[in-house]
Amino acid sequence: MNEQNIFIVRCGEVALKGMNKPYFERMLVDRIRARLKKINNGTDLEVKRHEGLIFVRTDKSYDKELIVKEISKVFGVASVSPAVEAESNLDKIGEAAVEYMLDLIEKRGVKTFKVEAKRADKNFPVKSPDIGRIIGAKVLIGCKVLKVDVHNPDVLLFVDVRQGVSYIYDAKVSGFGGLPLGTNGKGMVLLSGGIDSPVAAWMMAKRGMMIEAVHFHSYPYTSERAQEKVEELASIVSGYTGKFRMHTVNLLPIQEEIVTKCPEEETTILVRRFMMRIAEKIAEKRGCTMLITGENLGQVASQTADALVVTNASVTMPVMRPLIAMDKVDIMEKAQEIGTFETSIQPYEDCCTVFLPKHPVTKPKLEKILESESNLDVEGLIERAVESAEVINIYPR
Ligand code: ATP
Ligand code: MG
């Protein structure tokens, strides 16, 4: 036994699904398999659903920690535990538990433990609390240095007794939860180099949405380095979502039109409306049914309630704003957790800062904005911008 590494994966919200549960589980299995494939080319690797859990088995040569880390990054995974298995009888479970604890004594200097047993197989002749006591006694005999501590043990040893085979483990590494990628359509994220939009993309992907991105720059006012920063951010996000397309659009021709033909204080809101419309057009072409932004109520002048109404009125496609009601500190914390923060705070110029008005309107009126736009060839500008879009394939680093 245990010639392989075994990992028990718990499915979180997927487990709550009703009729569609098999579909979600299959998707989750596929996602885990795809994610692990890049390690050892996925040879000698098995991912299987069983009794509401997913079991991953790998050859011993795999790096256990790496496998746990990769599995925990898959959306839909609630938690994962490296485990060992034993035939479902108390002698075999006891032997495996002793071996397991001897290993922990050697590796972590463990001194106290407690057994938490659960009998998933209700036909197993011994009840859960008794299994716990019996296995605990066997461990005490097999590991002389150990003591039981029911309140604050160094190790909580889980024994999960199932039909035929039982599992022993101590650690549960948390995943992000959510739903498997690909179970909820595809969205086009407006990705800037800031803190917010990568988090917004990540949050929608966590709910199962595939993503593509569009990024606006104002080259040569914005530098190549600024664009590289965005590619780096996108790449970090793709560490969760897998490869995706990023469309880049030079907004400078539109910005120049706006600053020469429209009131200065409306520049930002007008630019934002163009961004949304261009993103919508590219989204339609690419089969995306929603736009995603990092907008957050009240954060800046262009994100007041009135400004959001005016921005929103530029498109008909639904716009997802997963950060809308979050506080900045919480967004920053999330950015840190997913690994985008350090890149986001690098000080490179953004296209929005190129023609930043001194006193942007905070209470724009749609009629007034439409009037300003009537000075512009809106359709033509959008069409040319969409045609000029370039595509970059974003891969995990
Ligand atoms: P972020 O931190 O995501 O840049 P922000 O707080 O700087 O957001 P804004 O600059 O008002 O806010 O942008 C609001 C949203 O508009 C962003 O979250 C993003 O979705 C989109 N956006 C802004 N600038 C760009 C850009 N250069 N390219 C693509 N999308 C952009
Ligand atoms: Mg920004």
134-175 pLDDT, tens digit each: 999 999 999 999 999 999 999 999 999 999 999 999 999 999
Residue 300: pLDDT band with limits 50, 70, 90: confident
How far is 224 from 216, CA to CA, in rounded Å? Answer: 12
Specify whether the CB–CB gap between 64 and 82 falls below 8 A. Answer: yes
At 1 the pLDDT is 47
pLDDT in tens, 339-396: 999 999 998 888 877 788 888 898 999 999 999 999 999 999 999 999 999 999 999 9
At 18 the pLDDT is 81
Atom 17 in ligand 1: which residue has the minimum CA distance?
A: 294
Residues near 84 by Cβ (< 8 Å), separated by ≥ 6? 1, 2, 6, 96, 99, 100, 167, 168, 169
H/E segment holding residue 37: helix 21-37
Number of the ligand 1 atom closest to the C-alpha atom of 300: 11
Whether residue 206 is predicted with pLDDT greater than 90 in this model: the reply is yes
Distance 384 CA to ligand 2 centre (A): 23
Site of tokens 């911008």:
385
Of the chain, the percentage scoring pLDDT greater than 70 comes to 98
Distance 212 CA to ligand 1 centre (A): 15
**242-246, 287-291, 351-355, 392-396, range with the lowest pLDDT:** 351-355
Site of tokens 């930043």:
356
> The tokens of 22 are what?
């098999």
How far is 109 from 107, CA to CA, in rounded Å? Answer: 6
Residue 162 has phi, psi (to 5 degrees) of -120, 170
Atom 8 in ligand 1: which residue has the minimum CA distance?
A: 196
At 59 the pLDDT is 87
Residue 21: pLDDT band with limits 50, 70, 90: confident
Q: Identify the top-confidence range among 232-241, 301-310, 347-356.
A: 232-241
Task: Please list the residues that pair with 160 across neighbouring strands.
Answer: 118, 167
Residue 261 has phi, psi (to 5 degrees) of -115, -5
The identity of residue 376, as a single letter, is L
How far is 379 from 257, CA to CA, in rounded Å? Answer: 13
Atom 23 in ligand 1: which residue has the minimum CA distance?
A: 192
Atom 21 in ligand 1: which residue has the minimum CA distance?
A: 190
Whether residue 2 is predicted with pLDDT greater than 70 in this model: the reply is no
Name every protein residue with a CB atom under 6 angstroms from any ligand 1 atom.
Answer: 190-192, 194-197, 215-216, 275, 293-295, 299-300, 302-303, 350-352
pTM greater than the 0.85 cutoff: yes
At 42 the pLDDT is 62
Whether residue 44 is predicted with pLDDT greater than 80 in this model: the reply is no
